[in-house]
Structure 1
Amino acid sequence: MNIEPGKHILILNDSFGALSCWFTHEHSVTMMSDSYIAHQGVLENLATNQCKNITLSNTLDDIPANVDYVLMQIPRSNRHLVWQLSQLRLRLGQSVPVIAVNKAKEIHTSTLALFEKYLGSTHTSLAWKKHRLVFSIADSSKKLAVDPLTKWQVDSHNFELSNLPNVYSGEKLDQGARFMLDYLPKDLNTKRVIDLGCGNGVLSVKLGIDNPNVRITCVDESYMATTSAQTNLLNNLGKQRDITCITNNCLDGFESDTAELVICNPPFHQQQAITDHIAWQMFCDAKHVLCNDGKLLVIGNRHLGYDVKLSKLFGKSKVKLIASNKKFVILQATK
């Protein structure tokens, strides 16, 4: 497809900036992503390749005006996809092409049905190098309103959570968090707590309920996660509590010796890849911010071997098992 120079290209979910860099040479580019790390990756690659500046925003922001083409990396979460398609339908004219891409095995009949329902006429390309393009235009007969929030009660803990479209486990409580809720400390003497990789803030809400004097800082790389966490903490703990929610790459920029407790439910995926490098960065950053005798409380799948990693970082004698079941372990490391 040939695009005449000087067009406004909207790029959704560009992970590291390949599309953004390519199109800056002849076009004006806006890149929207829910990922802080994606934003930083795009900026780094633009600078490295001496590309022109682009406009960065997150997927809670309004679709910009006067877009000529939309290029989309289809997100993993269908809720996030539906949100983006609904927003495109509200803002785009029928003359604006929307071109989406994913691995062919990830584009199902149900995926195409979502494009048809929430955006408009849709067809696909043939597969090429295991990927497929989806071509669509904003001409569906109805502009379907989509509520960005999904709300549900946390069983047996008597509080409700609100979840924006791209929040991990946004439709139900994930098993790891469910297990860890029963082992969070109570009646803490400590004041400064960091929830690293906070998601919707479920662990912070429970910790805040049981420890009314703690100061809680929630950190995640998802803008939707930190926004959801802030909403949930304010709704369940009240506006008078000392609460901060930060969208960041782990604990970049945090000063040392500034927390007595870090709680962490690390992800072990980045996009489609299974990896432990994110957890390792979280553990290193946690040790950096913890004061002497401060504690890191971690939950993870048994097979991930977090005990070995924590022992290398904190010392074997400083790591102990708090609880375990057939799938998960909860570990405590003391600085």
Structure 2
Amino acid sequence: MSAPDHYFTARPASPGELRTLDVRLRGHEVRVTTAPGVFSGDRLDLGTRVLLDAVDDPPEQGTLVDVGCGWGPVTLAMALASPGARVVGVDVNARALDLTRRNAAALGLANVTALEAGEALERFAAEGTRIDELWSNPPIRVGKAALHELLRGWLGLLAPGGRAQLVVQKNLGADSLHRWLADELGMDVARTASSKGFRVLTVRPPRP
């Protein structure tokens, strides 16, 4: 089965496709721009809401990353919580990146950058950048092999004291992903929340 089209939309939305949405992001009431052709383009999806409600604030400084940023709710929440940090939203969807940039600019969040996922990995490797905090509602429906490749790449960039917060639907393999992260990647994994059919997994690099 191919991945849903919204993962790979190649062009930004036209003016006629844009819509506004009022959402609450970790205590902040914000108005954002969304469009069809991105993940959960008409609402704040339940998994993302569970993630944002469950996790502690990210670090005040350092590099924070949202993998699979969509129209930007997690990126925006991280940037609002940590205005002194560098916040990077990454996605394979050009429309999603454009919306994240629009929304960050509209909210005055100058600490946000939105990058194509492959470009971001290359840039981080070239810079020697390590990630202090990563939040993600990962694209489970791309398939297990693609998901594992994605997570292996991004989690491998965590700083020694870094942390990832992942939200995964229980019936889409949250518990098997927990085991894979621990057994195959050697990560320190804890289930820190379970709500509305979703698990929130806190992932840390293996201890030396």
TM-score scaled by structure 2? 0.82
Are residues 34 and 177 of structure 1, via their aligned partners in 2, closer, same or farther at CA, if it must alter by over 3 Å? Answer: closer
Larger Rg over CA atoms: 1
**Secondary structure of the corresponding residue to residue 208 of structure 1:** helix
The aligned runs of 1:252-291 (5 Å cut-off) are: 252-253=121-122, 254-255=124-125, 257-270=129-142, 275-291=143-159
Are residues 226 and 276 of structure 1, via their aligned partners in 2, closer, same or farther at CA, if it must alter by over 3 Å? Answer: same
Distance 1:294 1:34 in 2: 27
Query: Are 1:212 and 2:83 matched, yes or no?
Result: yes
- The amino acid of 2:23's aligned partner reads V
What is the aligned partner in structure 2 of residue 298 from structure 1? 166
TM superposition shift of 1:183: 2.4
**Secondary structure of the corresponding residue to residue 283 of structure 1:** helix
Structure 2 unaligned spans of 5+: none
Cα offsets for 1:41-98 (capped at 9, x unmatched)? xxxxxxxxxxxxxxxxx433xxxxxxxxxxxxxxxxxxx8xx7xxxxxxxxxxxxxxx
What is the aligned partner in structure 2 of residue 147 from structure 1? 16
Distance 2:79 2:85 in 1: 7
Q: Name which structure has the greater RCO, CA cutoff 8 Å, separation 6+.
A: 2
Are residues 328 and 276 of structure 1, via their aligned partners in 2, closer, same or farther at CA, if it must alter by over 3 Å? Answer: same
* Farther off after superposition, 155-164 or 226-235: 155-164
2:64 to 178, 193, 212: 193
**Secondary structure of the corresponding residue to residue 138 of structure 2:** coil
Structure 1 unaligned spans of 5+: 1-14, 16-32, 37-57, 61-79, 84-145
How high is the sequence identity, in percent, across the aligned residues?
Answer: 21
- The amino acid of 1:245's aligned partner reads A
- The amino acid of 1:292's aligned partner reads P
Superposed CA RMSD: 2.5
Distance 1:34 1:325 in 2: 25
Q: Once superposed, which parts of structure 1, at least 4 consecutive aligned residues long, lie more than 6 Å away?
A: none
TM-score scaled by structure 1? 0.52
**Secondary structure of the corresponding residue to residue 158 of structure 1:** strand
Quick check: which one's helix share is greater?
A: 2
What is the aligned partner in structure 1 of residue 73 from structure 2? 202
Distance 2:184 2:105 in 1: 34
What is the aligned partner in structure 1 of residue 33 from structure 2? 162
**Secondary structure of the corresponding residue to residue 147 of structure 1:** helix
CA contact (8 A) 2:58 2:78 kept: no
CA contact (8 A) 2:59 2:133 kept: no
Aligned residues: 193
TM superposition shift of 1:326: 4.1
Distance 2:68 2:100 in 1: 11
